[in-house]
Structure 1
Amino acid sequence: MVSLLTLPSIHHAWPGSSTQLGLYRHGQFRRSIAFVVRSEHLPSTSASPCKEDGPGRRQLLAVGVTVAPWLFMSQQAATFAAETKKGFLPVTDKKDGYTFLYPFGWQEVVVEGQDKVFKDVIEPLESVSVNIIPTTKQDIRDFGPPQEVGETLIQKVLASPTQKTKLIEATEHDVEGKSYYTFEFIAKAPNYTRHALSTVCIGNGRFYTVTTGANERRWEKMKDRLKTVVDSFQIFNV
């Protein structure tokens, strides 16, 4: 079994709790900027093709140096936008190095101890939260196999001590050389049961946890959307 002494200490409070709704952040979406260079704006070099050091070539190189970073960023944004599914909105945190999708209509809220939280204001158990803590580990597999890590995290971290938990499935997958563990589990409280999914991974000297879920009574309706959320979560180097 995985020792609690080696696992990160990340107390995870459910964002669905009415005491942790926090303050809403409205309209915080960035618009991508399309940068287009028209051919007629570039200096012509056809008149002196052999003069590689001529003014036209130097000006073209200067423009290229200026434009290249913008084109690169635009290509990255376009690639991610192309992967966005209908009915979802993308999140990219360039500071902490992660991206994911969340269902359209969910609102961003502030929850103490969480890096980012989005939730449905009508169904409070339907939410997604991201938690990040420092770690010296290099790979999630350093903590053990998915089943053992999942059982320990769910019992000690991802659910309240008063809830009865059950791990349904634990899987592993790789994305661009990074290992991810995904868990499906149930957390039963006296007045409700939450069916949840969580994905954990390590990178940038950090332990990332993204968790989403819904009330058990709405699981069949929501499960495909919730799986899209956790499957979309990826980290990148910063």
Structure 2
Amino acid sequence: MAALQNSMPSLHHTLFTNSFPQVSFLINIRGLQKLSHGAFLCCKTSVPLHVRGEHLSSPPAAASSSSQFQDSCGRRRMIAVGIIAPLVSIVDRTPIAFAAETKKGFLPVTDKKDGYTFLYPFGWQEVVIEGQDKVFKDVIEPLESVSVNMIPTSKQDIRDFGSPQEVAETLIKKVLAPPTQKTKLIQAGEHDVDGKTYYTFEFVTQAPNYTRHALTAVSIGNGKFYTLTTGANERRWDKMKERLLTVVDSFKIFNV
């Protein structure tokens, strides 16, 4: 745990700002269509198919010739569609191939530069907050958000920092909540995906005017300590719980 304790100052600077949206920051709200590098919208790409037609005036005597021409055009159209259709399919799948597995009501984000991917609820908007790598939030319910942050580390495995409970308690007390707030760790655990270990934990932070219920996933890869945190106001937890679980479970790190 000593290594994690030594990382606290930089972790606090990096993570604290988005964990508590009441802290004042300059935020630029971007439209959903203007995602940062590596993010993809769940949309289809259309490839126009242009088939050139020719106007023919065929007297009855030329009906046979006209019929042959139409058959020829029909065959050309079929060949063209046979060539274009697979290309359309490939174009449609290209963004998704690099993104988190899609799910109804969510949009995927993949950062190919930093090597991570996750899903966020449809309708949340990307915001820019200093010190954060990526942040999406509900502009009506500001406590409903997800953020991803990273700091360099020489460790190769998240287990090198201690048990899930030890890492969770350290992050909650020293990074994810200000010292003036009461905190409670509800549960912590670990799971493996493609040979990589992730710690996930659930906790509550209590401020004078609100209580936030949050979920966090942490892991190590590419020489970085990754943290994804998502949450909501306690009064909306029952409504948001399943969606937030989908967000935290979708978080994956890949080699870059």
- TM-score bin, normalised by smaller chain: 0.7 to 0.9
The match for 1:218 among 236, 243, 247 is: 236
Q: How many angstroms apart in 1 are the aligned matches of 2:178 and 2:44?
A: 40
Q: Tell whether the 8 Å contact from 1:15 to 1:129 is kept in structure 2 after alignment.
A: no
For residues 82 and 138 of structure 1, do their structure 2 counterparts lie closer, same or farther at Cα, with a shift above 3 Å needed?
closer
Q: 1:28 aligns with which of 19, 34, 48?
A: 34
**Residue deviations 1:142-167 (CA, integer Å, cap 9, x gap):** 00010111011100011112111100
Residue 19 of structure 1: how far off its partner (Å): 1.9
For the Cα contact (< 8 Å) 2:184–2:204, is it kept in 1?
yes
Aligned residue pairs, count: 207
Relative to the length of structure 1, the TM-score reads 0.78
**8 Å contact kept, 2:98–2:110:** no
Identity %: 69
Contact 2:100 2:117 in 1 (8 A): no
Residue matched to 1:156 = 174
The code of the aligned residue for 2:165 comes to Q
Indicate the residue corresponding to 2:150 in structure 1: 132
| Cα deviations by residue, 1:93-118 (Å, 9 ceiling, x for unpaired) | 01100000000000100111110000
1:8-52, CA deviations, whole angstroms, 9 ceiling, x for partnerless residues?
Answer: 5311222522623600122125467689xxxx79xxxxxxxxxxx
Larger radius of gyration, structure 1 or 2?
Answer: 2
Deviation at 1:75, TM superposition (A): 6.1
RMSD: 2.6
Task: Could you tell me which runs of 5 or more consecutive residues in structure 2 were left unpaired when the two chains were aligned.
Answer: 48-78, 81-86
Q: What is the deviation of 1:82?
A: 8.4
Aligned residue number for residue 92 of structure 1: 110
Question: Tell me, which stretches of 5 or more residues in structure 1 are unaligned?
Answer: 42-66
- Residue correspondence of structure 1 range 62-77 to structure 2 within 5 A: 77=95
Task: Name the structure where helix makes up a greater proportion of residues.
Answer: 2
Residue 184 of structure 1 contacts residue 197 of structure 1 at CA under 8 Å; is this kept in 2? yes
Contact persistence 1:119–1:127 (CA under 8 A): yes
Asked if the contact 1:90–1:99 (Cα under 8 Å) also holds between the matched residues in 2, the reply is: yes
Residue of structure 2 equivalent to 1:10? 11
Question: Any idea what SS the aligned residue of 2:11 has?
Answer: coil
For residue 25 of structure 2, what is the amino acid of its counterpart?
Answer: Q
Give TM-score scaled by structure 2 length. Answer: 0.73
Structure 1 counterpart of 2:68: none
